[in-house]
Structure 1
Amino acid sequence: MHPKFGGGAATVRAPKVSEQIADSLRSRIVRGDIPAGEMLPPEKQMVEDLGVSRPTLREAFRILESEGLITVLTGARGGPRVRLPDLGVAARHIGLYLQTQGTTLADLLEARAEFGAVCVRFLAERCTEEGLAALGDCVRAQREIWEAGVESGADFARWVALTGEFHNLVALHCGNKTLETQAKALSEVLGASRAVSLRRKGDPGAFTDTSYIPGTIDDYEELVRLVAARDADGAEKHWRAHLRSASEIVFRNREPDSVIRLYE
């Protein structure tokens, strides 16, 4: 017998029954056979239909819940409810992996600049009128906040939220789902890392220094103009320069070679 397949060698582990059930349900969920928001059959019925024990079924539910594919509701009318896959779950796993690899803030921001620039090239080529209108509305809302006066942390938080929305709109309307997913995942990792930084040391310049806000809004308005003009080369060059400048603002409060932290 070949040493890889016998004679005391490690054997391939057969999937547990709970894993097989989770695999089957997962496939049905991602194919859309079980729509988001729909409740799975009652536990008693599933136990009888599948011929398994309650603990085995519940273990399958825990697997799917950890993947963000179901939410287990409590109460008389509770049970597992199907939900769409959550990009935030994937982003947390990506962030955890990057942290264990010692990934630096500079590394992450460099990747965002390159992903973002490609997204913007596609945006200029493919953006719909609806997408262009959404981008314009977002920038106008930012301008209104600035002109009304950013005088508190709440004002600043509203403006920051709109910048996140603008970046998500760029990804959403670039016309490429893979790039959209990658860009949004990187954005979530950056946001989570920044939240940890705020908790750890306060990030003192986060609100007190707002001098960069007008220039940022100007850059957003220029991007919308370039996209409306279908100037893909100009939009890509402009956005890459903007994202690199934005990185320098981040570096005012954090060291470029600091390792990103999503978990302390």
Structure 2
Amino acid sequence: MRDAPSQIRTPRTGELVAAKLRKRIITGDLRDGDEIPPEPELLAEFGVSRPSIRDAFRILETEGLIRIRRGRFGGATVLRPNAQSAAYHLGLALQAEGTTMADLAEARGLLEPLCAALCAGHAERERIADELDAVIDSSDPSAGDSSDFTADALRFHTAIVDRCGSTTLRLLAGALESVWGSQERRWALEARDAGRYPSVEDQRAVNRAHRAVVRHIRAGRAEQAQRAMAAHLHTSQTYVSPGEIAVDVVTQPAG
């Protein structure tokens, strides 16, 4: 008995146009912030209808690859994919799964120490250490201000990830870091308003822990850098992820 023939769907014209524009964005032919060619140019290039061009734009907008400006001065701007854009979709998936902050903290506690170890093994670890020290230096004056200190502390962790030297790990850990950061900023506002934000001495202890990680990176001690980062995260993340609080990327923090 012969199998029933499978149905092969013919792509819509808009999907084909979207595929061509998507390739230009991913390959760098259209760079972040570039304007997509105006509609008359696209009509002439692809020989399709206006609805097909608009369908292609809707597809790319849904994928987060362009931002559309509507109205008289409308158009579309390229949004090149990065860790931050991936983070939003990751955050939605985590929230849909009912992921807890403790679970998120555990994953961060595995990936970020590995990034610190890679920084210590990097051929340019001296330069990396200088840049990380500069980030910590900028956060010392912000001790006592919950909003500024939280932002500066998160910037240090992002810098570790960004400089690890592995593109795949940088994107994976960077997306995770971005999700965590959105949750920590919300926690900081709530803790400030409730009068339970960590003390200035606790904040300075965070910077001392950061400097210890950097010293190991500068000296090329990968294993020690990894352990120091893991210990720091184990201590600091307990402020933000107590109990079974769920990840929430949909609710916007107030204030």
Q: State the TM-score, normalized to the length of structure 2.
A: 0.87
Q: Which residue of 1 aligns with 2:168?
A: 178
- Name the aligned partner's letter for residue 69 of structure 1: L
Distance of 2:250 and 2:8 partners within structure 1: 33
* Residues 1:13 and 2:14 aligned together: no
Q: Summarize deviations over 1:63-117 as a string: whole Å, max 9, x none.
A: 2123332233456664223332243231111111111112111110000000011
1:39-50 alignment to 2 at 5 Å?
Answer: 39-50=35-46
1:120-131 alignment to 2 at 5 Å?
Answer: 120-126=116-122, 127-131=124-128
User: Any unmatched runs of 5+ in structure 1?
Assistant: none
For the Cα contact (< 8 Å) 2:17–2:56, is it kept in 1?
Answer: yes
Distance of 1:45 and 1:181 partners within structure 2: 34
Runs (4+) of structure 1 exceeding 4 A deviation are 74-78, 194-203, 208-211
Q: Which residue of 1 aligns with 2:103?
A: 107
1:74-89 alignment to 2 at 5 Å?
Answer: 74=70, 78-89=74-85
Q: State the TM-score, normalized to the length of structure 1.
A: 0.84
SS in 2 for 1:212: helix
Match of 2:233 among 211, 227, 243: 243
Distance of 1:65 and 1:20 partners within structure 2: 15
For the Cα contact (< 8 Å) 1:95–1:189, is it kept in 2?
Answer: yes
* Superposed CA RMSD: 2.5
Q: Percent identity?
A: 32
For the Cα contact (< 8 Å) 1:121–1:235, is it kept in 2?
Answer: yes
Q: Which residue of 2 aligns with 1:51?
A: 47
Q: Summarize deviations over 1:23-80 as a string: whole Å, max 9, x none.
A: 1111111112223333333212212331222121012112212333223345666422
For the Cα contact (< 8 Å) 2:146–2:192, is it kept in 1?
Answer: no
For the Cα contact (< 8 Å) 2:217–2:225, is it kept in 1?
Answer: yes
Match of 1:258 among 232, 245, 248: 245
User: Any unmatched runs of 5+ in structure 2?
Assistant: none
Distance of 1:177 and 1:129 partners within structure 2: 20
Q: Summarize deviations over 1:174-200 as a string: whole Å, max 9, x none.
A: 111111111211121123334566788
Distance of 2:227 and 2:60 partners within structure 1: 42
- Name the aligned partner's letter for residue 245 of structure 2: S
* Residues 1:167 and 2:157 aligned together: yes
* Residues 1:30 and 2:26 aligned together: yes
For the Cα contact (< 8 Å) 2:150–2:188, is it kept in 1?
Answer: no
1:86-235 alignment to 2 at 5 Å?
Answer: 86-126=82-122, 127-146=124-143, 150=144, 155-194=145-184, 204=194, 207=197, 209-235=199-225
